Structure 1
Amino acid sequence: MKNLSFYVGLFFLVFAGIIFWQSLSLDYYSEYGPGPGFLPTWTSGIIIVLSLIYLFLAFKKERILFENVLPKGAGLVSLLASMGSLLLFIVIVPYAGFLLSSILTLSLLFSRGYKWYWGLGMSTVVACVVFWVFGSLLGIPLPVNKYGW
């Protein structure tokens, strides 16, 4: 079956079903009103109903094919480069720290549209600013290497 609408509707149905099942273990009411299970129960229930409607529509009239969704040519290469650089960042950030990992992955992404030295310079500035904002201004620690950056 090549109908992407069916798989999207099925994904949301399963996801909402899991959330609904998990929300039943939380208290629906508390001493002061709605408990922690109130919102996830209702939200997942609404998503289940909407995904069932979407699945019905996917079979009746809306057919979205896989080949119409993914880009082709240079767009596909850009998509794969973005996904690959994200995976590279996830793999190397525990070892190299946030600063070096982000400089490397951003320079790989920026070098696709700029000369390599502009890409390296922009990635260094962006990574240093983000590292400074999170570390100094917001007080949120980012992963660091053994040198502290």
Structure 2
Amino acid sequence: MRNAGSWAAVVLLIFSALILWQSLGMENQNALGFGPGFFPFWLSLLMIVLSIAYLFQTRKDRISIKEMLPKNKGLREFLLILVAMAVFVLTAEWIGFIAAGTISVFLLVYRAFSKGVAVGFSIGISLLLFFIFVKALSVPLPVNSFGW
């Protein structure tokens, strides 16, 4: 099976079936109305139907996996995004959300802006997200010894 669309449809079909199976163990309805299994059940059922439809569509429109993969500049951009995400995940617990976020955002924007603008933008975005999650949404985020 060299058709990338067929692979994507099969993976989505398996994922949807797993979600459906998990949702069957939850209540669909409770005293307050919809239960925790209601949306996962119906959404996974819809995803199964769409996956099967997409599988049939990919039989006509063949896309090879080699055609889908990025090349040259696109590949470099893709790898840079992966590196930035890895830096954030590997450093957030150690140096805190703001520092890890600043480094990760800087890696993504330093080529598009001057260094000063990129640093300011990175710090600003990290601070904004930190305060939105911590203050407005009360979501605990990893912090360093300074509390940020």
TM over 0.5: yes
The list of structure 1 runs, each at least 4 consecutive aligned residues, that deviate by more than 6 angstroms after superposition, is none
Q: How many angstroms apart in 1 are the aligned matches of 2:143 and 2:72?
A: 37
Amino acid at match of 1:20: L
Q: CA offset at residue 120 of structure 1?
A: 1.6
CA separation of 1:84/1:27 partners in 2, compared to 1, >3 Å: closer, same or farther? same
Q: Provide the identity percentage.
A: 34
* Residue 31 of structure 1, CA deviation: 5.1
Paired letter, 1:43: L
User: How has the CA–CA distance of structure 1 residues 52 and 118 changed in structure 2, closer, same or farther, with 3 Å as cutoff?
Assistant: same
Shift in Å, 1:135: 3.2
User: Could you tell which deviates more after superposition, 110-119 or 2-11?
Assistant: 110-119
Structure 1 109/29 Cα, relative in aligned 2: closer, same or farther at 3 Å? closer
Match of 1:86 in 2: 85
Question: CA 1:97 to 1:17, structure 2 compared with 1: closer, same or farther past 3 Å?
Answer: same
TM-score by length of 1: 0.84
Query: Partners of 1:121 and 1:32 in 2: how far apart?
Result: 47
Stretch deviating more after TM superposition (10-19 or 128-137): 128-137
Task: Provide the C-alpha distance between the structure 2 equivalents of 1:108 and 1:36, rounded to a whole number of angstroms.
Answer: 39
Instruction: Name the aligned partner's letter for residue 48 of structure 1.
Output: I
> For residues 123 and 31 of structure 1, what CA distance do their matches in structure 2 show?
47
TM-score normalised per structure 2: 0.84
Matching residue's letter, 1:99: I
Residue 96 of structure 2: SS of its match in structure 1? helix
Aligned length: 148
